[in-house]
Amino acid sequence: MDITLLIILVAVVGVLAVVGLVVGLVAGRGRGGAQLPPAPSAPPAPAAPSTEDAVLDDVAPAAPAPVAVEEPPARVLDTPEPTASRMVRLRQRLAGSQNALGRGLLALLSRDRLDEDTWESLEDVLLTADIGVAPTQELVERLRTRLRVEGAAASDVRAVLREELTTLLEPEMDRRLQVTGADGLPGVVLVVGVNGAGKTTTVGKIARIMVAQDRTVALGAADTFRAAAVDQLATWGERVGVEVVRGPEGGDPASVAFEAVKSGVERGLDTIIVDTAGRLQNKQGLMDELGKVKRVVEKQAPVTEVLLVLDATTGQNGLIQARVFSEVVDVTGIVLTKLDGSAKGGIVVAVQRELGVPVKLVGLGEGPDDLAPFDPGAFVDALLG
């Protein structure tokens, strides 16, 4: 009996131990053991139609949605601003950036007494505006003579100043862009200048002016040195539907220029504008590169215009660059960019004097139509306010 009791007791203890182990294991899983992958969730039940849907469904019973094959939208080309309205806007902008100079000069000349101090101050204002030493002295001399003879009080100081400043800008210079070729060939415009002066932007802006004048144009992206410059030019071209001839990155600029002009000749275009690389590593390198571009292009058609792009904000540095480029290529016109960001409009005088070449265009902003022909009279009017 004792033994039977003992066996029953051992059996009960054993069963209890097994049950305890199983319960412990299950609880352990729940606290941090290996997680089972979540059961796949059932697909969401379709949402009940909202009242609005229901109303729409009432009006138009659901039909199977047609598979829409969307045509890419046709590219809408920009319409470049015509020259006349562009001039008005740019004149206002020019007046904004330059009238400190004009006002400064007028205030000095309107003093009751024009003594030595006044003339010296006048010289300082002119030199600060980057007009250059020789033109400053000339202008002061002429003003002194005229205002002494005519009498400052009696004369219209503004009119005298306007006349003398305009004379300084050599208004008789021919500022027309030579964009038309002879004998049925296209005009070829080479655009040169150091990187960052605004060359590529200027090429794009000139193309827009020509498109606005119904001329047929192609662009040559011969600034193969910087891939971004080529892409930048391509974007300018695309916007007005002008073809851009480009070569491989780091390729030979002369061959791109050649291809651009060749294509222009074959297609009978009016003008080809070639953007060049302006690395000023040394004069010889620059001369070799630009010389080659010009030689190669002229196998197809003569270059009709070489435009040097200068950043107006660089002052004396710009003049040094101008000198180097003019020794390397025959510059026929100057484009002065960023006049909107400079109070030193006097650079126009200095650079024309330095090169004996007219400023033909001025850049007055980053906008696509912020480029205008340079007009000495309008420039002085903007200056004097």
Known binding residues for GTP: 193-200, 275-279, 337-340
Residue 239 binding ligand GTP, by CB under 6 A: no
Residue 338 binding ligand GTP, by CB under 6 A: yes
Close Cβ partners of 252 (under 8 Å, ≥ 6 residues apart): 224
Task: Give the nearest distance from C-beta 203 to ligand GTP in angstroms.
Answer: 8
CA dist., res. 363 & res. 179, Å (int): 19
CA dist., res. 213 & res. 203, Å (int): 15
Kindly tell me which residue out of 130, 223, 305, 369 binds ligand GTP, with binding defined by CB under 6 A. Answer: 223
How many other CB atoms are there within 10 angstroms of residue 40's CB atom?
Answer: 6
Residues touching ligand GTP, count (CB under 6 A) = 21
Task: Give the nearest distance from C-beta 195 to ligand GTP in angstroms.
Answer: 4
Kindly tell me which residue out of 229, 245, 254, 297 binds ligand GTP, with binding defined by CB under 6 A. Answer: 229
How many other CB atoms are there within 10 angstroms of residue 318's CB atom?
Answer: 26
Comparison of 211 and 336: residue with beta carbon closer to ligand GTP: 336
Kindly tell me which residue out of 200, 271, 304, 326 binds ligand GTP, with binding defined by CB under 6 A. Answer: 200
Beta strands (DSSP E) in the chain are: 187-192, 217-222, 243-246, 271-276, 305-311, 333-337, 359-363, 371-373
Given the structure tokens 């390729």, which residue do they identify?
251
Edge-to-edge strand order for the sheet containing 217-222?
243-246, 217-222, 271-276, 187-192, 305-311, 333-337, 359-363, 371-373
Kindly tell me which residue out of 20, 196, 268, 385 binds ligand GTP, with binding defined by CB under 6 A. Answer: 196
Residues 31-90 that bind ligand GTP (CB under 6 A): none
CA dist., res. 172 & res. 281, Å (int): 36
Task: Give the nearest distance from C-beta 277 to ligand GTP in angstroms.
Answer: 7
- Convert residues 144-183 into a mask of x (bound to ligand GTP by CB under 6 A) and - (unbound): ----------------------------------------
The two structure tokens encoding residue 274: 């070639």
The two structure tokens encoding residue 308: 């040097």
Binding part of the chain for ligand GTP, among 117-125, 296-304, 317-325, 362-370 by CB under 6 A, reads 362-370
User: DSSP secondary structure string, 316-351?
Assistant: HHHHHHHHHHHHHS---EEEEE-GGG-S-TTHHHHH
Report the DSSP pairing between strands 371-373 and 187-192.
unpaired
Residue 341 binding ligand GTP, by CB under 6 A: yes
Kindly tell me which residue out of 114, 179, 197, 286 binds ligand GTP, with binding defined by CB under 6 A. Answer: 197
Residue 199 binding ligand GTP, by CB under 6 A: yes
Comparison of 33 and 96: residue with beta carbon closer to ligand GTP: 96
Residues 277-306 that bind ligand GTP (CB under 6 A): 278
Binding part of the chain for ligand GTP, among 93-101, 145-153, 171-179, 363-371 by CB under 6 A, reads 363-371
Half-sphere exposure of 224 (CA within 13 A, CB side): 18
Task: Give the nearest distance from C-beta 307 to ligand GTP in angstroms.
Answer: 12
Binding part of the chain for ligand GTP, among 50-58, 261-269, 286-294, 334-342 by CB under 6 A, reads 334-342
CA dist., res. 273 & res. 263, Å (int): 12
Which residues of this protein are in contact with ligand GTP, per CB under 6 A? 193, 195-201, 223, 226, 229, 278, 337-338, 340-341, 363-366, 370
